[in-house]
Structure 1
C-alpha cells in the first residue's frame, strides 16, 4: 500500500471518502527529495499567534494514535507551558521505509478527528523525517522567535544522536539543538534512571541543557501502537489503549499487527 493510498475497510460515508482522498493528495504532493516542507491539515484555532511562544512538535507514526501519545502531549503542555502542540506525520520516516497498517491518509484522518475541537492542537504532514529538516520547515510557517520543542520517547531521542542519519553529525546536531529543544518521556520498561544515565554519555553532554525529562506513569509508559495492532490482529479488545474518538474509526482503516516480511522496523511508540 502506498503512503497516501487508502481503502474502505469499514463503512465510510461519502464525506469520509472525500476527506481521505483530499488527505492522500496532500501526502502525494510532498516531495522528500526537495526542500523540507510541512503542510497543515488542521491549524490550531487558539494556538501560537505571535513571536516568542512555545510550540510542541509531536512527530510519530500514529499507527494508530494511542492514549500514551495523548498523555505525552497533555503532560508536555502542562509541564512546559506549550502554547500549541502540532501532531506531525512524516511522508518518509527515517526508520520505517514501508507503510503498513493504516495508510498515511487514514492516519491523518484519525488525527484530524481527534484534534477537531481541541483549539491548541494542529495536525500536519511533513515531507522529511529528520528533526533537523523539520526545524527548517517549521521556521518557515511559524512566527519568528517561536520556540520549537520536540516531544519524543526515549527510543526516538537515541535515534536523534545516531550518526548514520547525518552527513556531518556534529554540525547538524549543533544546529538542531541551537534551534530546538526536546521533551523526552520514558517508554516501555525503560526507567527514568536509565534515561538520566544515558544523558550523561559524551554524545549528549553538550546538549543536556536542551533536553527535558518527562516521567510517564507506568500505565501510559507501557502502551504502544504495536500492542494495539497486535490486539486487533488477535481479535482482542483494544479500546482501553486508544482515545475514545479513535476506537470507532479503526475498523474503517487498514490497521494490522505486522509490517511486510521484508521490513525490519522497531516497535511503534
Structure 2
C-alpha cells in the first residue's frame, strides 16, 4: 500500500489534533492546522459525513448565502469524535473521513472552515465553541428537518424544557427541508403549543428539492448507481481505499480486504497511541 509523504504528513497533523480530543473531558472544539479560528457569528453543520454528498455541499452553500446577508458570520463543517446515535459506524476511519471532508471543502467551499468536537450533543458543541474560542458570539447549527424533529421530540429527554432551554441559551438553529417535508411543515411544528416557546430560535433555510432525498447511506451502497449525487472527490476516495466495499475474492479462493490493510498500515504508522478509530 502506497501513501504519499504529503498525505502522511497531513494524516499526522490530523491525528495530532484527534489525539488531544478526549470525549470524557469538558466540551472542547479544535480546528485543523491552517484553518481559520471561529470568531464573531458562526454557522456549523455537524455530521458524520460518511461520506460527504452533494446535499451537504448544497446545504453549506445555502448557509453561505445566509452568512453573507448577516455579516460578520463564518461557516464551518464539523465532525465529532463521539457521534450520537452513530457509534456503530466502523469504517472508514474517523481520520479518513476528516481528510476527505477537508479535501471536499477546500475544492468546493474554500471559505468554509472545519471543526472537530469531542462531544456529540448540540448543547455540548455550543459549550465547546464558547470555551475554546472566546471571541465567538452567536452560534447557529445547520440541520435538516429530520434533525429538528429529534431535537423537539420529548422521548429523547428526561426533562425536555430544561434541556431545550440550555440549548437555546447557547445557540439557534437553521433548518432546511428534507424528503417530502416543506417549510410549511416546520411552521406547523413550531406552532404546536409545546414548541412555541422555542420558535424564535429556529429559522427556516431554503433548500433545493433535488437534494432532499440525497443521503450518505445511498452513496455508501453504490457510488456509481447514485450517479451525480456522488462527489468526484468521494468517488476517488472510494476507488482508492475500497472503504465501503467487501473483500476482493482472488483466483485462489482467498480474500483481499484492501481497507483492512490500510487500517493496519495507519495503526502501525501512529503506534503506540492510535486514536483514529470511532469512539
Q: Same fold (TM over 0.5)?
A: yes
Q: 1:36 to 1:252 in 2, by over 3 A?
A: farther
2:51 corresponds to 1:59: no
2:10 maps to 19
Q: Deviations over 1:194-215 (max 9, x none)?
A: 2322222233211111111123
Q: Which residue of 2 aligns with 1:115?
A: 105
Aligned twin of 1:98? 88
- 1:196 corresponds in structure 2 to 187
Residue 241 (structure 1) aligned with residue 232 (structure 2)? no
1:134-160 deviations in Å (ceiling 9; x for gaps): 111101233445210000011111222
Alpha-carbon spacing, 1:166–1:40, altered in 2? closer, same or farther (3 Å): farther
Q: How do 1:113-262 residues align onto structure 2 when only pairs under 5 Å count?
A: 113-116=103-106, 118-144=109-135, 146-163=137-154, 165-166=156-157, 168-232=159-223, 236-238=224-226, 240-253=228-241, 255-256=243-244
CA distance in 1, matches of 2:226, 2:32: 27
Aligned partner of 1:75 among 44, 53, 62? 62
Q: TM-score, normalised by structure 1?
A: 0.79
Shift of 1:246: 3.5
Q: In structure 2, what is the equivalent of residue 30 of structure 1?
A: 21
Structure 2 CA distance, aligned partners of 1:202 and 1:68?
A: 32
- Which secondary structure state, in structure 2, belongs to the residue aligned with residue 95 of structure 1? coil
Q: Which runs of 5+ in 2 are unaligned?
A: 247-279
8 Å CA contact retained: 2:175, 2:205: yes
Distance 1:167 1:24 in 2: 36
| Residue 89 of structure 1: aligned partner | 79
Relative to structure 1, the CA distance from residue 166 to residue 31 in structure 2 (aligned partners, 3 Å threshold; closer, same or farther) is: farther
Distance change >3 Å, CA 243–CA 203, structure 1 → 2: farther
Match of 2:273 in 1: none
Q: Distance in 1 between matches of 2:52 and 2:162?
A: 33
Number of the residue aligned with 1:3:
none
How many residue pairs get aligned? The number is 242
Q: Tell me how far apart the structure 2 counterparts of residues 158 and 257 of structure 1 sit (CA, whole Å).
A: 32
TM-score under structure 2 normalisation?
A: 0.76
